[in-house]
């Protein structure tokens, strides 16, 4: 269908995907679930289309990060109680450590199996230790459906936010991979017709007429 519509100024493909997302989100809200969850199903279903139409996910990403995502996280963050963070700081640290430890158990062995360099393996593991999206969704779902109270929500969301910030800072500070130049033969540049490039001792480049044989 997207191919038949073609590239039009009105962007019917983007509007169609947005309509599907809003419709499924409304159904999820009526069912008592989180409206954002159907977006993952739509993403998996449209993965082949996104591969063949690379501009479409780019446009959807712009819309999501500029309009939809900020409001969701503003809502999730506005429910955090500062006094609950201070009162349960130790428990938050314990939850953060457990979350990071479970991610390490699941990811670090895979980096070893796929023969990652030790530094790159640790860097990848730390960056994969985040769980901001699903963690905040599940915590907000529990609060909305009265499964947890606001203090428990605060503890969980703070630990989730910490799992996104702390591993990233550690990875960037101490485990940033060292990029190496790609080895290979470098093709020699062809001289200009009738010219020779000569480099002076000072490092400056000057052009001189090619000496005739």
pLDDT tens digit sequence for 9-60: 567 778 888 888 889 989 988 888 888 888 888 888 888 888 888 888 888 8
pLDDT given for residue 183 in this prediction: 57
pLDDT of residue 36: 82
* Spatial distance between the Cα atoms of 57 and 49, rounded to a whole number of angstroms: 9
Q: How much is the pLDDT for 15? A: 83
Within this chain, do residues 130 and 151 fall inside the same structural domain, yes or no? yes
Q: Give the pLDDT confidence score for residue 31 in this predicted structure.
A: 85
Reported as half-sphere exposure (CB side, CA atoms, 13 A), residue 67 has a value of: 7
Q: Is residue 184 part of a domain?
A: no
Q: How confident is the model at residue 206 (pLDDT cuts 50, 70, 90)?
A: very low
Reported as a single tens digit per residue, the pLDDT across 108-160 is 999 999 999 888 999 999 988 877 888 888 898 899 889 999 999 999 999 99
Assess whether 38 and 126 both reside in one domain: no
Local confidence band at 181 (pLDDT 50, 70, 90 cut-offs) = low
Q: Contact at 8 Å (CB) between 21 and 42? A: yes
Kindly tell me the burial class for residue 152, based on how many C-beta atoms sit within 10 Å of its own C-beta (0-12, 13-18, 19 or more): middle
25 and 114 both lie in a single domain: no
Task: Judge whether 211 lies within some domain.
Answer: no
Are residues 55 and 6 part of one domain?
A: yes
pLDDT-based confidence at residue 208 (cuts at 50, 70, 90): very low
Report yes or no on 56 lying in a domain.
yes
Q: Which residues contact 42 (CB under 8 A, 6 or more apart)?
A: 17, 20, 21, 24
Q: Would you state the structure tokens that stand for residue 120, as one six-digit string? A: 């790159």
Residue 183 lies in a domain: no
pLDDT at 171 over 80: yes
Please indicate whether residue 179 or residue 57 has the higher confidence score (pLDDT).
Answer: 57
102 in the same domain as 42: no
Indicate if 103 and 122 belong to the same structural domain: yes
pLDDT of 68: 77
Q: Is residue 153 part of a domain?
A: yes
**Alpha-carbon span 7 to 4, nearest angstrom:** 9
| Rounded-to-integer distance, Cα 89 and Cα 155, Å | 8
Instruction: Let me know if residue 204 belongs to a domain.
Output: no
Q: Are residues 169 and 111 in the same domain?
A: yes
Q: Are residues 87 and 65 in the same domain?
A: no
For residue range 46-101, list pLDDT tens digits in order: 888 888 888 888 888 888 888 878 888 888 888 999 999 999 999 999 999 999 99
Residue 89, SS3 per DSSP: helix
Domain of residue 160 covers 79-177
Q: What is the H or E stretch that residue 58 is in?
A: helix 55-63
143 belongs to a structural domain: yes
If one counts the domains in the chain, the total is 2
């Amino acid at each position: 269908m997207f191919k038949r519509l073609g590239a039009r100024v009105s962007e019917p493909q983007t509007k169609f995907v947005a309509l599907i997302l809003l419709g499924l989100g409304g159904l999820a809200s009526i069912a008592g679930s989180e409206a954002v969850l159907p977006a993952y199903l739509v993403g998996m279903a449209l993965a082949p289309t996104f591969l063949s139409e690379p501009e479409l996910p780019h446009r959807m990403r712009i819309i999501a990060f500029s309009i939809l995502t900020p409001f969701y996280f503003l809502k999730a963050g506005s429910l955090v109680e500062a006094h609950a963070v201070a009162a349960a700081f130790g428990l938050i640290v314990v939850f953060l450590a457990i979350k990071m430890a479970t991610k390490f158990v699941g990811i670090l062995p895979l980096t070893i199996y796929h023969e990652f360099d030790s530094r790159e393996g640790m860097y990848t593991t730390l960056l994969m230790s985040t769980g901001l999206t699903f963690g905040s969704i599940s915590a907000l779902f529990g609060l909305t459906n009265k499964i947890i109270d606001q203090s428990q929500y605060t503890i969980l969301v703070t630990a989730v936010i910490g799992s996104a910030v702390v591993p990233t800072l550690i990875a960037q500070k101490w485990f940033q991979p060292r990029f190496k130049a790609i080895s290979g033969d470098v093709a020699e540049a062809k001289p200009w017709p009738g010219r020779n490039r000569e480099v002076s001792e000072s490092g400056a480049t000057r052009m001189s007429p090619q000496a005739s044989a």
